[in-house]
Amino acid sequence: MTWSPLLNPPEFPAPEYDRLGSRLGAVLETANDVVVVPGEAIVALEAVATDLGAPGYPVLNVVTSPYGKLFGQWLESSGSSVLNLFSTPGLPVTIADIEEAVDRFSPRAIAIVHGEAASGIVNPLAEIAGFARSRGLLTIVDAVASVGAEPLPVDDWGLDIVVIGPQKALLGPAGISAVAVSQTGWAALAANAAPRADLSSVSLVDIKRDWLDSDRSVIPGTPAPLELWALDAALARFEAIGLQESINAHQTAKRAVRAMVRSLGLELWAADDDASALTTTVVVPVGIDPRDLARTARGSFGALVSTGVGPGAERLVRVNHTAVAASFGSVAANVVGLLAALRRHGFAGPDRGALDAVVAAYAAAP
């Protein structure tokens, strides 16, 4: 019989499950409740929308990616009137757009994706959160592609509902997620949640009832021990690195890749202040197919390069510098692989100084 450590794993202890909430809270810099959701982050996002959406509860939903669009659809399915605020395709929303939409629509809440790995941008969440607080609006944030790589002080910014997945900068499993909820957030979820079966797989209110409000001696539902042990291990590794150190590493990787792209005379898709720390998006030179370029970079040179995703990203490739790919060695290998692929496809721009730009960015890093 073949033995595998993945078969018949031990149960995950309820006290350690309870500790996962506080450990994730430390990553998010929050004292709010943090609940673990058994499923990938899209399940947690749908759970939020399902509980929060209700007739008479209008929501301003910022759409800068397919995930933002989905969230608006889930809210509408639950009865909310939704104003979808679309940014210029592939680019961040502006605070001016938010202010105008709020004045026009009078929502009760604002929903937004913080970081967009698909197009390599971040939305101005700190500004938006400050504006929301000034208007008494609930804030719902998809932070899957920003947690651990971008500043995300949940309590300082006054964010009410924040959904995260550990599979990106935390380098954890994709089949589990978590949601941080303020007391204001819980009140809104409880007030809006529609009557349903005794147990729903997409209800944060049920998770609160069955875990937070219980004696926490039994993990609710049927726990997935492999995912829980993997999350536990990912958090241990992340804690050994440190939150600020992880953010610094991702920000340094971003600066290094962007410096290299500029040294080649290529166009960066996002402005410096709008750029993601997980991926850098590059406008592919005319005459080169982005799909062919990404295939060559990955297949021939092992570079973590892929095509952009979604409207506005058709001419883009993404250089991945997430988690372990934010290290100096990975970034150097990826930029050399991208350069080699460009050369193979006929790019004739300058290449002197490309690695020097990467070295300089890391030499100046904190």
Q: State whether 63 and 141 are in the same domain.
A: yes
| 273 found inside a domain | yes
Environment class of 294 (CB within 10 Å of its CB; exposed 0-12, middle 13-18, buried 19+): buried
Q: State whether 120 and 204 are in the same domain.
A: yes
Mean of per-residue pLDDT scores for the chain: 94
What are residue 113's phi and psi, to 5 degrees? -90, 130
| 304 found inside a domain | yes
pLDDT of 175 > 90? The answer is yes
| 2 found inside a domain | no
Q: State whether 157 and 271 are in the same domain.
A: no
| 248 found inside a domain | yes
Q: State whether 223 and 253 are in the same domain.
A: no
Q: State whether 257 and 157 are in the same domain.
A: no
Q: What is the DSSP letter of 275?
A: B
Do 180 and 25 contact (CB within 8 A), yes or no? yes
Distances (CA, A) of 348 to 108, 341, 343: 53, 12, 7
Q: What is the pLDDT of residue 252?
A: 97
Query: What does 184-199 look like in DSSP terms, one character per residue?
Result: HHHHHHHHHPPP--S-
Distances (CA, A) of 62 to 59, 189, 190, 315: 9, 20, 23, 23
Q: What is the pLDDT of residue 182?
A: 98
| 3 found inside a domain | no
pLDDT of 270 > 70? The answer is yes
- Per-residue pLDDT band for 199 (boundaries 50, 70, 90) equals low
Nearest of 116, 129, 201 to residue 161 by alpha carbon: 129
Q: State whether 297 and 333 are in the same domain.
A: yes
Secondary structure class of 231 (helix, strand, coil):
helix
| 111 found inside a domain | yes
From 180, 214, 241, the end of a domain falls on: 241
Q: What is the pLDDT of residue 357?
A: 85
Contacts of 53 (CB under 8 A, 6+ apart): 59, 74, 75, 76, 77, 78, 79, 80, 192
Do 362 and 252 contact (CB within 8 A), yes or no? yes
pTM: predicted TM-score of the whole model, two decimal places: 0.95
pLDDT of 198 > 70? The answer is no
CATH number for the domain harbouring residue 301: 3.90.1150.10
Element (H, E) at 165: none
| 5 found inside a domain | no
pLDDT of 211 > 90? The answer is yes
- Per-residue pLDDT band for 197 (boundaries 50, 70, 90) equals low
Tell me the β-bridge partners of 121: 116, 275
From 210, 241, 272, the end of a domain falls on: 241
Q: Work out the average pLDDT over 315-334.
A: 95
Cα four-point dihedral sign 126, 128, 129, 131: positive
pLDDT of 187 > 90? The answer is yes
Q: State whether 359 and 219 are in the same domain.
A: no
pLDDT of 200 > 90? The answer is no
pLDDT tens by residue, 54-88: 999 999 999 998 899 999 999 999 999 999 999 99
pLDDT of 15 > 80? The answer is yes
CB neighbours of residue 248 within 10 Å: 15
Environment class of 362 (CB within 10 Å of its CB; exposed 0-12, middle 13-18, buried 19+): middle
Q: State whether 28 and 82 are in the same domain.
A: yes
Do 245 and 253 contact (CB within 8 A), yes or no? no
Q: State whether 164 and 122 are in the same domain.
A: yes
| 334 found inside a domain | yes
pLDDT of 359 > 90? The answer is no
Say how far apart CA 191 and CA 94 lie, in whole Å: 31
Q: Work out the average pLDDT over 147-175.
A: 97
Nearest of 176, 167, 132 to residue 278 by alpha carbon: 167
Residue positions counted in the chain: 366
Q: How many domains does the chain have?
A: 2
Tell me the β-bridge partners of 268: 282
Q: State whether 299 and 326 are in the same domain.
A: yes
Where in the sequence is the domain holding 335, given as residue range(s)?
Answer: 243-363
From 241, 256, 284, the end of a domain falls on: 241
41-52 vs 183-192: helix crossing angle, rounded to 10: 70
Q: What is the pLDDT of residue 202?
A: 73
CB neighbours of residue 72 within 10 Å: 23
Q: Work out the average pLDDT over 189-203.
A: 76
Q: What is the percent of the chain with per-residue pLDDT over 90, rounded to a whole number?
A: 84
What are residue 178's phi and psi, to 5 degrees? -155, 155
CATH number for the domain harbouring residue 192: 3.40.640.10
Q: What is the DSSP letter of 162?
A: E
Q: What is the percent of the chain with per-residue pLDDT over 70, rounded to a whole number?
A: 98
Secondary structure class of 87 (helix, strand, coil):
coil
Say how far apart CA 249 and CA 256 lie, in whole Å: 11
Q: What is the pLDDT of residue 66?
A: 87
Q: State whether 220 and 116 are in the same domain.
A: yes
Q: State whether 236 and 275 are in the same domain.
A: no
Q: Work out the average pLDDT over 241-265.
A: 96
